[in-house]
Amino acid sequence: KTAAPAASSTPAAPVQGPPPIQLRPPSLDFGFVPPSSASTGSVELVNTTDRPLKILAVQPSCKCTTISDLAGKEIPAGGSVELEATLDAQPAPGPKRAQIRVLVEGYTQVVTVQLQAEVALPVRVTPPYINAVEGKNQTGRLVVQSTDGTPFRICSTHGMPPRYLGFDPASEEARSQYLVEYDIADFGGRIPRYFVIETDREDAPLVDVLLRHEDSFPAINIRMKDYRIPAGVIPAGESAEFTIRLDNRIDRPAPPINAAISRSPDGTVEFVGQEVDEENEEVLVTLRLTPKSDFTGFLYLPFTIFAQTGQTQDLDVFAKVAPGGSAACSEPASSGG
pLDDT tens-place string over residues 241-265: 999 999 998 888 999 999 999 999 9
Asked if residue 116 lies in contact with residue 160, where contact means CB atoms within 8 angstroms, the answer is no
**pLDDT > 90? residue 154:** yes
Direct distance between the N- and C-terminal alpha carbons of the chain, in angstroms, rounded to an integer: 105
pTM assigned to the model: 0.78
Asked if residue 192 lies in contact with residue 211, where contact means CB atoms within 8 angstroms, the answer is yes
Q: Residues of the chain with pLDDT > 70: what percent? A: 94
> Which stretch of 47-56, 87-96, 326-335 has the lowest confidence by average pLDDT?
326-335
Tell me, what's the pLDDT at 9?
A: 53
Residue 337: pLDDT band by 50, 70, 90 thresholds? very low
Asked if residue 262 lies in contact with residue 271, where contact means CB atoms within 8 angstroms, the answer is no
- In whole angstroms, how large is the CA radius of gyration of the chain? 26
Residue 336: pLDDT band by 50, 70, 90 thresholds? very low
Q: Please tell me whether the peptide bond between 25 and the residue prior to it is cis, using omega within 30 degrees of 0.
A: yes
Mean pLDDT of 66-86: 94
Tell me, what's the pLDDT at 51?
A: 95
Q: Please tell me whether the peptide bond between 20 and the residue prior to it is cis, using omega within 30 degrees of 0.
A: no
pLDDT tens-place string over residues 97-117: 999 999 999 999 999 999 999
Tell me, what's the pLDDT at 250?
A: 84
Asked if residue 93 lies in contact with residue 121, where contact means CB atoms within 8 angstroms, the answer is yes
Tell me, what's the pLDDT at 334?
A: 41
Asked if residue 267 lies in contact with residue 289, where contact means CB atoms within 8 angstroms, the answer is yes
Tell me, what's the pLDDT at 11?
A: 61
Tell me, what's the pLDDT at 60?
A: 94
In terms of DSSP bridges, do strands 297-307 and 257-262 run parallel, antiparallel, or are they unpaired? antiparallel
The contacts of residue 162 (CB under 8 Å, 6+ apart) are 154, 156, 178, 180, 197, 333, 334, 335, 336
Residue 36: pLDDT band by 50, 70, 90 thresholds? confident
